[in-house]
Amino acid sequence: TFTPRVFSGIQPSGGLTLGNYLGAIKRFVSMQDEAFETIYCMVDLHAITVWQDPAALRHNTRELAAGYIAAGIDVEKSILINQSQVPEHAQLAWIFNCVARMGWMQRMTQFKDKAGKNAQNASLGLFGYPALMAADILIYHATHVPVGEDQKQHLELTRDIATKFNHDYKVDFFPITEPVIEGVATRVMSLRDGSKKMSKSDPSDASRINMTDDADTIAKKIRKAKTDPDALPSEAKGLENRPEARNLVNIYAALAELSVDQVLAEHGGAQFGTFKPALADLAVAKLAPISSEMARLMDDVTEIDRVLARGAAQAREITAPILKKTYDIIGM
Ligand code: ADP
Ligand code: NA
């Protein structure tokens, strides 16, 4: 009964990383041409759960819009928005704050990771982040959400919130959304620590490849990436217990659109001294056209702002009626 509809978002809390590109944006682009309506978002309200410098937030939001478009999001096929410009996200989030239970939120591993040892000093918004994320998705009645592996638990919470709302008000109003977590790059790891995911909020710039890094920087970061001393195996099972090696092979496979076994059929037996330059060349070849297009788009921020204003107007045609109906169900 629900229209097949995709929603997903990325935080403008820094620059785009290779993890965001391979784990999220590449899939966003391919879903545009499948049988879905697609809505993609800069989630600035999520970004401010951790303090952001205002000028940096404004810049990063526009640059993220440029990144989406440069990577292939077509604003004739997808609605592209900045979260704070569509107020129904925050309005539904309040309702979901009243549906979600404290105990559910306390189990969220991302909160524990981000809040660290001093959780009492984390913002209330960081704790409530998953309820806002549920609202982002469900204000569109989205049926599918492409994300990286790290968002799996938040999507389960989204399903729990929809189920509880439907149950509490005896309606079949919110869909039970399907996560779409597919491919070899659902969890791109840090280049410096094979146990941590690559993230724009990692304090170490060497841990990640930024979409705006130039060719020399990309090559240097890959050359310095942590690895082990062994040669590459000839098949995937030889990468077990070698997280750093597996990460570089996964990145290669995702960029080249090959399977891990296909990559190892070609590079098995190679030392990192040979494989890393091959990976760097591939990464530069795939990322340079995107970063130069991003730079070109950033020369005209008025045009970016115009695209986002239009996206917000399109989005509100969907979100305003859903919020109105939600209020009606609740008795408001
Ligand atoms: P970040 O950790 O870089 O701030 P976000 O929280 O904004 O990323 O996540 C945006 C999208 O990118 C989500 O779908 C998330 O799962 C995906 N993503 C983020 N980091 C990675 C990664 N290292 N590997 C794969 N996907 C990722
Ligand atoms: Na994340």
- State residue 304's pLDDT score: 98
CATH label of the domain that carries residue 68: 3.40.50.620
Per the structure block, which two tokens stand in for 297?
Answer: 């788009």
**Which residue minimizes the CA distance to atom 14 of ligand 1?**
147
Task: Please indicate, yes or no, if residue 198 is contained in any of the structural domains.
Answer: no
- State residue 61's pLDDT score: 98
58 and 138 co-located in one domain: yes
274 and 244 co-located in one domain: yes
How many Å lie between the centroid of ligand 2 and the Cα of residue 147? 9
Report the distance separating Cα 37 and Cα 35, nearest Å. Answer: 7
200 catalytic per annotation? yes
**Top mutation candidate among 8, 10, 136, 155 for ligand 1, by most atoms within 8 Å of CB:** 10
114 catalytic per annotation? yes
Q: Which residues contact 171 (CB under 8 A, 6 or more apart)?
A: 165, 329
Query: Measuring from each residue's beta carbon to the nearest atom of ligand 1, which residues come in under 6 Å?
Result: 10-11, 13, 17, 19-20, 23-24, 147-148, 150-151, 185-188, 197-201
Number of H helices, E strands in the chain: 14, 5
50 and 120 co-located in one domain: yes
144-146 and 78-82 strand pairing: unpaired
**Phi–psi pair at 266, nearest 5 degrees:** -85, -40
Radius of gyration of the chain (CA): 20
- State residue 1's pLDDT score: 86
From the alpha carbon of 151, which atom of ligand 1 is closest? 16
284 and 316 co-located in one domain: no
Prediction ipTM score: 0.95
Sheet of strand 78-82, all strands in order from the earlier edge strand to the far edge: 78-82, 37-42, 5-10, 144-146, 178-180
**Top mutation candidate among 20, 28, 210 for ligand 1, by most atoms within 8 Å of CB:** 20
Contact call for residues 61 and 80 (beta carbons, < 8 A): no
117 catalytic per annotation? no
Query: What is the total count of domains within the chain?
Result: 2
Per-residue pLDDT in tens (0 to 9) along the chain, 332 residues: 899 999 999 999 999 999 999 999 999 999 999 999 999 999 999 999 999 999 999 999 999 999 999 999 999 999 999 999 999 999 999 999 999 999 999 999 999 999 988 899 999 999 999 999 999 999 999 999 999 999 999 999 999 999 999 999 999 999 999 999 998 999 999 999 999 999 999 999 999 999 999 999 999 999 999 999 999 999 999 999 999 999 999 999 999 999 999 999 999 999 999 999 999 999 999 999 999 999 999 999 999 999 999 999 999 999 999 999 999 999 99
How many Å lie between the centroid of ligand 1 and the Cα of residue 211? 13
**Which residue minimizes the CA distance to atom 22 of ligand 1?**
19
324 and 282 co-located in one domain: no
178-180 and 144-146 strand pairing: parallel
Domain containing residue 315: 5-180+300-330
**Which-ligand-closest: CA of 198?**
1
- State residue 45's pLDDT score: 98
Q: Which stretches of 147-242 are assigned E, i.e. beta strand?
A: 178-180
Report the distance separating Cα 36 and Cα 61, nearest Å. Answer: 25
Contact call for residues 34 and 64 (beta carbons, < 8 A): no
| Residue 52 CB neighbours (<10 A) | 18
CATH label of the domain that carries residue 292: 1.10.240.10
152 and 46 co-located in one domain: yes
47 and 158 co-located in one domain: yes
Catalytic residue among 114, 152, 164, 220: 114
Task: Please indicate, yes or no, if residue 290 is contained in any of the structural domains.
Answer: yes
**Which-ligand-closest: CA of 110?**
2
From the alpha carbon of 189, which atom of ligand 1 is closest? 23
| Of 3, 33, 320, the residue nearest 142 (C-alpha) | 3
Task: Please indicate, yes or no, if residue 260 is contained in any of the structural domains.
Answer: yes
53 and 25 co-located in one domain: yes
**Which residue minimizes the CA distance to atom 2 of ligand 1?**
199
273 and 175 co-located in one domain: no
Task: Please indicate, yes or no, if residue 91 is contained in any of the structural domains.
Answer: yes
Give pTM, 2 decimals. Answer: 0.96
